[in-house]
Amino acid sequence: MTTTTPARGRRRAPSRMERAAGRAAAFQKPRVVLALLLLLALTSVMLLDGYLRSEIGNDARVRDGAAYDKVPSRILDGGPLLTFDHGTARTQSVPDRTIVLTFDDGPTATWTPQVLKVLEENDVDATFFMVGSMISRYPGVVKSLVEQGNEVGIHTFTHVDLSYQSAARLQRELKQTQLALAGAAGVTTTLFRAPYSSEIDAVDNYSWPVYQEIGDLGYTSVFVDTDSDDWKKPGVSKIVRWATPKKNKGAIVLMHDAGGDRSQTISALGTYIKKMKAKGYTFTTVSGAQAMLNGNRSGGGRQSGSAGAGAGAGGTGAAQAAQHQAAGATLYEGRALVYAVAVAEWVVPALSWFLLVVGVAVMGRFGMMLVLARRHHRQRNRGRGKGGRGGGRFGWGPAVTRPVSVIVPAYNEKECIANTLRSLARSTHPIEIVVVDDGSDDNTAEIAESLGMPNVRVVRQENAGKPAALNNGVRNARHDIVVMMDGDTVFEPDAVHHLVQPFADPEIGAVAGNAKVGNRTTLIGAWQHIEYVMGFNLDRRMYDLLRCMPTIPGAIGAFRRDAVLGVGGMSEDTLAEDTDITIALHRAGWRVVYQEHAKAWTEAPGSLRQLWSQRYRWSYGTMQALWKHRTSLTDKGPSGRFGRVGMPLVVLFQIVTPVFAPLIDVFTGYSMVFVDFRAALLAWLAVLAVQLVCAAYAFRLDREKYRYLAMLPLQQLAYRQMMYLVLIHSCVTALTGGRLRWQKLKRTGEVGTPAGAGR
């Protein structure tokens, strides 16, 4: 027995890691903030993309057939150009034999350039009433449109019916569209056309106050005289006929360059222009028509096909009356908006495809787990119940009956150590118990000795960390098979016997037991119980058959003593010594298996803070272990097998997919808000159903009570998100070169006998 002076204070990692711990602690909070900021940035990008696509449910007219008795009759009987001068409304009509071509709902990358090509071929300018979200998405098209000499107007930012919107929403729609114009083409405009508007006699009591407010802001509201109804796709001849004004009158003509297939509009446009020119009509812009009405024909733009002067960033001379060069904050804010949209336009589709791949991989994993878990269960339970108790019935070989050593590393485990040792005393397999007291200052060693168990030895050491304690236990073990456990864990009476039976096969170097949550009566305990049964033990069945088990749980695992010593013992290089030793054994050529019938009950963290600390250490330690053994990717033999089979599976399913899983949830929320709530909800429920099936099968294999599965939906909404954040935090720590220190969890000792805990 080794006796030393116990160390004081909290349990620490080995000294080499301890030197970096102080520096790491100072950077933990910034790393958490960075991880959250990254997630927030991606969420913001998705929200921006959804807003730009106008898929919030606002893209519909909210009323029709309203009264119009509050609208002045002179307005209802007036022309399509509505302006306000010091609160007084007046209308104007387009001069005879004058056509103002207007296009709504654009721009688009497909149809707007084709419209521009036809206009340029026929030496005609037009006015485009554009949606701000579309401007932001296609700034290059807008710039080309303005440079060609065409005119732009505002058609709101999200194509919303403004009749029931607040004044703040109205001004936001206008301002955002102005910013989009400034960022795309360096201009602003004073022309406005409301979505769903038509002729001016359709103004009603709901929309009239909106036009008054818009007029007070200095905008000209532009209605139509002649609607081509091209959105109905009636055919080229009808579009041309419906767009032709009666009796040589002038007209503002409505067409569309967005909102669906506009091939008929493109085909009809050239024919229409030629027809109207042959009848002696002049084509101009809205500003050109206003200039003609005001007697300033020099500002009339292209007259009957003659090119107007001043084309460029501000368009023709006519266009300059409504368009102005953007400057100052408007220009820079507009450019920022366009750049942000460009990022969203690239990031969101890329993420969508990537997450589709991740989703397929996750669903594939569920399917693979179910198939392999079923096969594993059948193989390991073939002939169960025949031939009495022993390992031979499972195909390992002759039953293992020789004594084994059980190593119990303990640091300040006064609440748990008695329950742990008493559970071992009931073992049906002959054992010696080696309690390694790692410098406890709470009388853990004294409590262990006071129990008076003849097969218990207490080995004392200075506080050096769990790996050092386990190595000390291995050195002091008297038998060739060592069972390792935690000081807060209790074993079922036959756990050790089941655990050591696979050692009848000389190729097996280590065995993973079935760790179960003992304190499952609380919500957080129930969540961890589901995770242990489904996420850990179901996984281990799969990894067992694939011969690439990544981790033997610290709560219950067995090893050949020579195998442990042969790979240098428990590593002090990482915070996941259980993962590290498991991978090392694989690389040394040993086989590692899972024994489902060897059950141990462990005390899981009882608070979110403790859970975060534990999982943070687990995930970070796993990354350390994978990085340490990265050369196995190019090794030959057993080491190469794990490197090319086990390591990719661990990286994919324990790091990559969980890191990006929060984005799947964010995309689900995005789809519910911006796309189709019902479809998104059904998709989420379908995934939940798949997880429920997997969990139910895992519970069936482990003979657990199904009632805990009622917690699964809430686990997906709350607990899983926390686990994602923990992993993201760990990834950020790893990428920034941080080091963690061992963090002792507070124990209560509430996990006692496992009797009745199962089904």
User: Which residues belong to the active site?
Assistant: 104, 256
CB contact at 8 A, 265 and 239: yes
Q: What whole-number distance in Å separates Cα of residue 645 and Cα of residue 88?
A: 78
CB contact at 8 A, 119 and 125: yes
Q: What values do phi and psi take at 29, rounded to 5?
A: -60, -45
Query: And the tokens for 671?
Result: 């789809």
CB contact at 8 A, 107 and 138: yes
Closest among 68, 312, 372, 309 to 208, alpha carbons compared: 68
End-to-end CA distance of the chain: 42
Q: Is the peptide bond before 107 cis (omega within 30 degrees of 0)?
A: yes
Q: What whole-number distance in Å separates Cα of residue 736 and Cα of residue 724?
A: 18
Would residue 280 be called left, alpha or beta, if left means φ above 0 and alpha means ψ between -120 and 50 degrees? left
Q: How many other CB atoms sit within 10 Å of the CB of residue 397?
A: 15
Closest among 490, 488, 487, 513 to 500, alpha carbons compared: 513
Report the DSSP pairing between strands 191-192 and 220-222: parallel
Q: What whole-number distance in Å separates Cα of residue 503 and Cα of residue 475?
A: 20
Q: What whole-number distance in Å separates Cα of residue 623 and Cα of residue 638?
A: 21
Residue with tokens 């104007």: 92
3-state helix, strand, coil in the chain (%, to 5): 55, 15, 35
Closest among 195, 200, 263, 274 to 230, alpha carbons compared: 263
Q: What values do phi and psi take at 567, rounded to 5?
A: -100, 15
Q: Classify the C-alpha dihedral 193-199-201-202 as positive or negative.
A: negative
Closest among 591, 587, 589, 590 to 635, alpha carbons compared: 587
Q: What whole-number distance in Å separates Cα of residue 560 and Cα of residue 573?
A: 21
CB-count burial class (<10 Å; 0-12, 13-18, 19+) for 85: exposed
Query: And the tokens for 168?
Result: 């703040």
162: DSSP letter:
G
Sequence-distant (6+) residues with CB within 8 A of 723 are 615, 658
Q: What whole-number distance in Å separates Cα of residue 26 and Cα of residue 733?
A: 12
Query: And the tokens for 145?
Result: 């449109």
Q: What whole-number distance in Å separates Cα of residue 694 and Cα of residue 709?
A: 11
Q: What whole-number distance in Å separates Cα of residue 157 and Cα of residue 179?
A: 10
Q: Which residues of 592-609 are buried (b: 16+ CB within 10 A; e: fewer)?
A: bbbbbbbbbbbbbbbeee
Q: What whole-number distance in Å separates Cα of residue 570 and Cα of residue 472?
A: 10
